[in-house]
Amino acid sequence: MREIVFDTETTGLDPAVERVIEIGGVELWNHIPTGKNYHAFIRPAGRKVDPAAFDVHGISDDFLADKPLFEEIAEEFLAFFSGAKLIAHNAAFDVQFLNAELARIGQPPIDPGIVVDTLPMARRKFPMAPATLDALCSRFSVDTSRRDKHGALLDSELLAEVYIELIGGRQAALGLVMESGSGGSEEENGQVLRIGPRPAPLPPRLTAAEIAAHRAFVETLGDEAVWWRYLERRAAEDAALVTAD
């Protein structure tokens, strides 16, 4: 399953008149970061950055003066976000702004059915506790040392770690045991893969003849060959398995 954890920065708080000036997105595949990210700064045509917004993200009008307009980055943005579930913190804010930008260039809005909001997830999981991104990073020991102001890509990277914790831990989707939740959405308690022991060891990939040939080769290397350490350790492990059986 492909997911994009994303965030935006804007010139202000009203999507009807304010504009998106930064978009960041982090790709997950089965809840694991792939290393593929999306990031763009955007020049807000005809709009200045509100001082209160500048205090939050530190993105100035001068910095944005030579950046592309939204319509110039729209194709790349849509290509990266297409076909994925979209994850955001207080998602309604970001989606409203993106939908306003999409409407201005004649594109359809984001389907609300593909959007997951981590804010209500956190509030349900930790009732009465602070649910800001900073608070969740602190709860889950997510490193925020690089963050002195808000930034769309950095906040997406932090939220990706928080999201993985919210759905069951950093090892989700790496294991061999499938757990199914008792109800609710997939993000909260649906099917999530977790680390678990194998019910039985995998069969050896080497044949007996190959093992014998390798041992014969090691014997030609002398008593100090490092391979002897491996062979002795392997013999001890095999003996332990026989004893356990």
Catalytic residues: 150
Helix (H, G, I), strand (E, B) or coil at 193: strand
What is the helix (H) or strand (E) element at residue 218, kind and residue range?
A: helix 208-219
3 backbone dihedrals φ, ψ, rounded to 5°? -135, 150
State the DSSP string of 115-149: EEEHHHHHHHHSTTS--SHHHHHHHTT---TT-SS
Under a CB-based contact definition with an 8 Å cutoff, are residues 82 and 76 in contact?
Answer: no
Task: Report how far residue 53's alpha carbon sits from residue 97's, in angstroms, rounded to the nearest whole number.
Answer: 14
Q: How far is CA 3 from CA 44, 47, 95, 115, 163, in A?
A: 27, 31, 15, 10, 11
Per DSSP, 42 falls in state -
CB atoms within 10 A of CB 213: 12
Nearest to 107 by CA among 137, 81, 142, 139: 81
Please tell me the number of Cα atoms within 13 Å of 102 on its side-chain side: 14
